[in-house]
Chain A
Amino acid sequence: MRYLPLTETDRREMLGVIGAKSVDELFRDVPERARRDGLVDLPRRKGELDVERALGRMAAKNTPAGSVPFFVGAGAYRHHVPAAVDHLIQRSEFLTSYTPYQPEITQGTLQYLFEFQTQVAMITGMEVANASMYDGATGCGEAVLMAHRVTRRRKAVLSGTLHPQYAAVVKNLSDFADYELEVMPPALPGKTEDILAHIHDDTSCVVVQTPGFFGELHDLRAIAEAAHAKGALLIAVVPEIVSLGAVTPPGEMGADIVVGEGQSIGNGLNFGGPYVGLFATREKYLRQMPGRLCGETVDADGNRGFVLTLSTREQHIRREKATSNICTNSGLCSLAFTIHMSLLGEEGYKRLARINHAAAVKLAERLAKVPGVEILNQAFFNEFTMRLPKPATEVVDALVEKGVIGGVPASRLLPGVPEVEDLLIVASTEVNTEDDRAAYEAALKEVL
């Protein structure tokens, strides 16, 4: 087998040194009943070529997003990733190193984490950020738990702007950790959500997403004020991180914790993962933060260097008293984020955001002209919701037949909610061309 360097001669020699007659002897602590003499019932080894064929055959049955006019968002977005990003993250020294527990020989990882934390803090308008979470949704769950620790309260209020699967992740965590949760009904664009009335003295935090699940931009200032007046925290969730190149960051609207999905910068769609969770907060809450943190320090010679720090919050030190059970972060995805963000820089990031916004505005203007279509949003970034004259699922399926992948039917994520049956959530980014938009318009006209 090509990945196994030991030869039969090696194995014999090594068994000799160990003083064992066979490898079986090394497994003698396994209870007899559980020892398996034969092979498990799975295919035998394959050469590279055969593996490529087998997986290539599966891949060929899919429709890659880049092969058709593609307008799917709802928490994951197709963007152009510069070639340098994927090249750099595949360098062995990044790809095949472990968590930087030995800082003397992992300064590469530590320094980019420091840069990542700085970038995330800057774009969210917050003071500090951690070295990443698994993804946006699990980061959101951790943010709620953190708010409970900070406020010593146990009830969170989830706005109807929150992605339903994020809400499901938070609900699952809250249920099992025995916390209380109030989940508001879906906040359809164009309607005001009366979340202020749900903030009480026992509220630990309010979780609001902007751009919201339906693409709408939400003002957080009044919510932040109301939350703070009751001693609660505001958690802002940003699923499309490109938006912050154009949109007021949550940190400037009073958010106490900002959770973002960083996939859009540097990372492909990957059918849902791996992605990279962004997590930023105010400095005063630092010690209640989950996840790894990288900090600057000096070495024995006085040279600047970096280390993982404040690890007394973490499970490998604190065990059952840790702030979170999380061990890993999303290292390589955060590197991709950092490199892409470095290439963009201030001007590039802002321009990318403007291009995205323009793409969505142009698409909305086109589709609004299709008879029976109504765009529901007041203010949006690169995603909006339209009401169709029939169930959105049917329309999406019919569009697939026309070679267009037109968005996410709200009902896929909110099953059994009659008022969203006809709603389609549509995203457009810099990868969409004028031709794509024309193709969408034409196809939509045909299927409606």
Chain B
Amino acid sequence: MSGMNKQGRPTSIAGTAHGGTHNTFTGNRALELEEPILFELDNPGACGVDLDEPEEFTSRLGNFERHGRIGLPSVSEPEVVRHYVRLSSKNYSIDAGLYPLGSCTMKHNPRLNEKMARLPGIGDLHPLQPVQTVQGALELMHELSHWLKELTGMPAVALSPKAGAHGELCGMMAIRAALIARGEDETRSRVLVPESAHGTNPATAALLGYKVDAIPATKEGRVDLEAFKAKLGPDVAAIMLTNPNTCGLFERDIISIADAVHEAGAYFYCDGANFNAIVGRVRPGDLGIDAMHINLHKTFSTPHGGGGPGAGPVVFSEALAPFAPLPYVVHDESGFRLVETEDAAKADGTSPFGRMVAFHGQMGMFVRALAYMMSHGSDGLRQVAEDAVLNANYVLASLKDDLSAPFEGPCMHEALFDDRFLKGTGVETLDFAKAMIDEGYHPMTMYFPLVVHGAMLIEPTETESKQSVDLFIATLRDLARAAKSNDKDRFLGAPYMSPRRRLDETAAARKPVLRWAPPAPKQAAE
């Protein structure tokens, strides 16, 4: 039997389980609305655009005219708008709450950047319209290059890579091009990658035909310098190292590492995914790095967009600068020029290794990143790194007694925990993360880096207030204590309150359904 509330009405429907929730007729739950797949909204005759049939003309399609139905559904504009608004309500977002994904840098995305990207003089430019009509666009690229070079202390930059992993590929191609130029490409076949690296690092090296050799870590979560030196040899092409590393720690020996790499005749590739921790305070160029990509969607706040688009410009040392790919912008007395062919580059005295992209890169991301940089300025960017590091250390210090931290602080921009605090509770990292969802948080990065057991990598970023971080800390503390006091169900069935409960990923992979298909017509009875 349900009780009565202060208004004398039932507190829940009789016979329902927890908290008065019951099955509604629609499957909806107030603001949370179930939504069919677009194709199920098909209403032949409806249309979301008004386009007039062209006047009579003579087709020039030859014998290539498309016949038959494609299968696209017919839906009016209000229905399309409602459909996608309803879908949007099933997403967590940084605008709605703290998004502590370590290594992903989910920071505030300023709307000014969106506004700037939509200026017709930027958004409505074709990459191949005559260069005299896009001088301001080339100036913008040139200006962005200047900021990236100053912030990293590196003399050259390739803007064109489309994402972080694409930037890695670009950097490693430049390294290989330099080795080819030195005549050492055949002999240098090994790339050293720490065990804690992002998966893209070994995947990139392997794509270029390199043998990937793992570097062990010390108990302090950093590269083991002696073990690393022992791995160096005349067959090593490069090291790929993330700094600050994926445990959220600064590689203390990085200058010694760089010196050893260079002494061995190899190059130093740095994964710049965590540049946010040091921007304005440390310049990679001062650490002896030869190439580093910068995820504009991390450090420089371009929106992650549910998984892209990103942008991954790469900065280069003097040694690699001549090999930077096409295209690039040059400023001289005639204005801004786009060097986009090998001939033009030769005339310019460079030897680009080739081309990563058609056109010139992610201009829409360039303008957003530049707007962000200009907004912060040199002083604000330094503050970004400091506040990001401060917030992470505050999380680490506040939670190290309730959770378990594998490494001593200070950390940089992210705090790493492992699952020792869950030992004997029957709760695993995954369950702990799913319970965070019910508490209104996106989980942290889980099970990465691979070097600690049941990893939980928390990156609050600099755009969280103390109040917000305090609430987050309190929530994690409550959850940790609940796990330890045998409140298991809170975790094992979590999430309970999200638009969907845990999804069956095994079934999805076993028999993949990757597209909508019309329901099979019912078999006629024999």
Q: With a 10 A CB-CB cut-off, give which of B173, B434, B442, B499 has the most chain A CB atoms.
A: B499
B47 at the A interface (CB under 8 A): yes
- Is the Cβ of A46 less than 8 Å from the Cβ of B374? yes
In the complex, which of the residues A31, A108, A135, A309 contacts B512, with contact meaning CB atoms closer than 8 Å? Answer: A309
User: How far is the CB of B329 from the nearest CB of chain A, in Å?
Assistant: 12
**Which residues does chain B contribute within 8 Å of A134, judged by CB atoms?**
162-163, 166, 308-309, 357
User: How far is the CB of A42 from the nearest CB of chain B, in Å?
Assistant: 4
Instruction: Produce 1/0 per residue, A30-60, CB < 8 A to B.
Output: 1101111001111111111011101111111
Known pairs A99-B304, A293-B512; A273 contacts B140 (CB<8 A):
no
- Is the Cβ of A109 less than 8 Å from the Cβ of B343? no
B261 at the A interface (CB under 8 A): no
**Which residues does chain B contribute within 8 Å of A248, judged by CB atoms?**
64-67
**Which residues does chain A contribute within 8 Å of B251, judged by CB atoms?**
29
- Is the Cβ of A344 less than 8 Å from the Cβ of B92? no
- Is the Cβ of B163 less than 8 Å from the Cβ of A271? no
B199 at the A interface (CB under 8 A): yes
**Which residues does chain B contribute within 8 Å of A117, judged by CB atoms?**
514-515
- Is the Cβ of B48 less than 8 Å from the Cβ of A95? no
- Is the Cβ of A318 less than 8 Å from the Cβ of B122? no
In the complex, which of the residues B199, B362, B367, B390 contacts A316, with contact meaning CB atoms closer than 8 Å? Answer: B199
- Is the Cβ of A61 less than 8 Å from the Cβ of B92? no
User: How far is the CB of A305 from the nearest CB of chain B, in Å?
Assistant: 4
A229 at the B interface (CB under 8 A): no
| Bound CA span A284–B326, Å | 36
**Which residues does chain A contribute within 8 Å of B38, judged by CB atoms?**
115, 338, 342
In the complex, which of the residues B35, B126, B304 contacts A111, with contact meaning CB atoms closer than 8 Å? Answer: B35
B280 at the A interface (CB under 8 A): yes
Known pairs A172-B353, A346-B74; A51 contacts B116 (CB<8 A):
yes
- Is the Cβ of B150 less than 8 Å from the Cβ of A84? no
Q: Which of A2-10, A190-198, A200-208, A440-448 contacts B (4 or more CB under 8 A)?
A: A2-10
A244 at the B interface (CB under 8 A): yes
B474 at the A interface (CB under 8 A): no
In the complex, which of the residues B140, B304, B500 contacts A104, with contact meaning CB atoms closer than 8 Å? Answer: B500
| Bound CA span A233–B380, Å | 53
Known pairs A76-B127, A95-B109, A269-B127; A45 contacts B376 (CB<8 A):
yes
| Bound CA span A50–B367, Å | 15
| Bound CA span A246–B47, Å | 18
B299 at the A interface (CB under 8 A): no
| Bound CA span A289–B468, Å | 41
In the complex, which of the residues B64, B307, B434, B513 contacts A296, with contact meaning CB atoms closer than 8 Å? Answer: B513
**Which residues does chain B contribute within 8 Å of A21, judged by CB atoms?**
none
**Which residues does chain B contribute within 8 Å of A95, judged by CB atoms?**
93, 95, 109, 114, 303, 305-306
User: How far is the CB of B393 from the nearest CB of chain A, in Å?
Assistant: 5
Q: With a 10 A CB-CB cut-off, give which of B91, B139, B251 has the most chain A CB atoms.
A: B91
- Is the Cβ of A297 less than 8 Å from the Cβ of B280? no
- Is the Cβ of B173 less than 8 Å from the Cβ of A176? yes
| Bound CA span A381–B65, Å | 10
| Bound CA span A71–B362, Å | 22
| Bound CA span A137–B361, Å | 11
Q: Which of A293-313 contact B (CB under 8 A)?
A: 293-301, 303, 305-307, 309-310, 312
- Is the Cβ of A28 less than 8 Å from the Cβ of B410? yes
- Is the Cβ of A397 less than 8 Å from the Cβ of B130? yes
In the complex, which of the residues B52, B112, B512 contacts A310, with contact meaning CB atoms closer than 8 Å? Answer: B512
Q: With a 10 A CB-CB cut-off, give which of B81, B433, B463, B508 has the most chain A CB atoms.
A: B508
- Is the Cβ of B73 less than 8 Å from the Cβ of A342? yes
- Is the Cβ of B508 less than 8 Å from the Cβ of A309? yes
A433 at the B interface (CB under 8 A): no
User: How far is the CB of B442 from the nearest CB of chain A, in Å?
Assistant: 6
B24 at the A interface (CB under 8 A): no
**Which residues does chain B contribute within 8 Å of A89, judged by CB atoms?**
305
- Is the Cβ of A39 less than 8 Å from the Cβ of B126? no
Instruction: Produce 1/0 per residue, B336-362, CB < 8 A to A.
Output: 000011011000000001111111111
- Is the Cβ of A328 less than 8 Å from the Cβ of B500? no
Q: Which of A381-428 contact B (CB under 8 A)?
A: 381, 396-397, 400, 405, 408, 412-413, 415-416
Q: Which of B12-20, B204-212, B419-427 contacts A (4 or more CB under 8 A)?
A: B204-212
Residue of B nearest to A87 (CB): B81
| Bound CA span A431–B419, Å | 58
- Is the Cβ of A4 less than 8 Å from the Cβ of B203? no
| Bound CA span A343–B122, Å | 26
Interface size of A in residues (CB-CB distance below 8 Å) = 208
A333 at the B interface (CB under 8 A): yes
- Is the Cβ of A328 less than 8 Å from the Cβ of B132? no
- Is the Cβ of A98 less than 8 Å from the Cβ of B106? yes
Q: With a 10 A CB-CB cut-off, give which of A42, A99, A122, A299 has the most chain B CB atoms.
A: A42
B501 at the A interface (CB under 8 A): yes
**Which residues does chain B contribute within 8 Å of A168, judged by CB atoms?**
326, 354-355, 358
User: How far is the CB of A265 from the nearest CB of chain B, in Å?
Assistant: 11
In the complex, which of the residues B128, B147, B281, B371 contacts A55, with contact meaning CB atoms closer than 8 Å? Answer: B371
Q: With a 10 A CB-CB cut-off, give which of B198, B249, B304, B409 has the most chain A CB atoms.
A: B304
User: How far is the CB of B444 from the nearest CB of chain A, in Å?
Assistant: 10
| Bound CA span A349–B73, Å | 11
- Is the Cβ of A305 less than 8 Å from the Cβ of B500? yes
| Bound CA span A300–B494, Å | 10
In the complex, which of the residues B61, B280, B499, B512 contacts A107, with contact meaning CB atoms closer than 8 Å? Answer: B499
- Is the Cβ of A352 less than 8 Å from the Cβ of B382? no
| Bound CA span A361–B56, Å | 11
B239 at the A interface (CB under 8 A): no
Known pairs A51-B375, A378-B62; A97 contacts B94 (CB<8 A):
yes
Known pairs A117-B515, A169-B355, A342-B48; A327 contacts B200 (CB<8 A):
yes
Q: Which of A98-132 contact B (CB under 8 A)?
A: 98-100, 102-109, 111-112, 114-115, 117-119, 121-123, 128-129, 131-132
Known pairs A51-B112, A305-B500; A62 contacts B135 (CB<8 A):
yes
| Bound CA span A318–B212, Å | 13
- Is the Cβ of B513 less than 8 Å from the Cβ of A111? no
- Is the Cβ of A93 less than 8 Å from the Cβ of B116? no
| Bound CA span A43–B131, Å | 28
Instruction: Produce 1/0 per residue, A161-199, CB < 8 A to B.
Output: 001011011011001111000000000000000000000
**Which residues does chain A contribute within 8 Å of B85, judged by CB atoms?**
88, 91
| Bound CA span A105–B60, Å | 49
B4 at the A interface (CB under 8 A): no
Known pairs A6-B462, A65-B124, A345-B73; A295 contacts B61 (CB<8 A):
no
- Is the Cβ of A44 less than 8 Å from the Cβ of B377? yes
**Which residues does chain B contribute within 8 Å of A28, judged by CB atoms?**
410
**Which residues does chain B contribute within 8 Å of A176, judged by CB atoms?**
173, 176, 207-209, 353-354
User: How far is the CB of A5 from the nearest CB of chain B, in Å?
Assistant: 4
**Which residues does chain A contribute within 8 Å of B344, judged by CB atoms?**
415
User: How far is the CB of B26 from the nearest CB of chain A, in Å?
Assistant: 13
- Is the Cβ of B513 less than 8 Å from the Cβ of A295? yes
Q: With a 10 A CB-CB cut-off, give which of A345, A352, A413 has the most chain B CB atoms.
A: A345
**Which residues does chain A contribute within 8 Å of B515, judged by CB atoms?**
114, 117-118, 121, 128-129
Q: Which of B224-232, B282-290, B476-484 contacts A (4 or more CB under 8 A)?
A: B282-290
| Bound CA span A47–B409, Å | 35
B183 at the A interface (CB under 8 A): no
- Is the Cβ of B123 less than 8 Å from the Cβ of A107? no
A320 at the B interface (CB under 8 A): yes
Q: Which of B45-70 contact A (CB under 8 A)?
A: 46-49, 51-55, 57-67, 69-70
- Is the Cβ of A315 less than 8 Å from the Cβ of B165? yes
In the complex, which of the residues B51, B53, B358 contacts A163, with contact meaning CB atoms closer than 8 Å? Answer: B358
Known pairs A108-B90, A273-B362, A274-B365; A379 contacts B61 (CB<8 A):
yes
| Bound CA span A15–B126, Å | 50
**6 pairs across A/B with beta carbons < 8 Å?**
A89-B305, A95-B306, A96-B106, A97-B305, A115-B37, A292-B307
The 4 closest A-B pairs by CB, nearest first: A59-B121, A272-B359, A379-B62, A61-B136
Q: A39-B378, A55-B367, A62-B121 are in contact. List 7 more A-B contacts (CB 8 A).
A: A13-B466, A97-B305, A269-B124, A306-B503, A342-B75, A355-B54, A408-B128
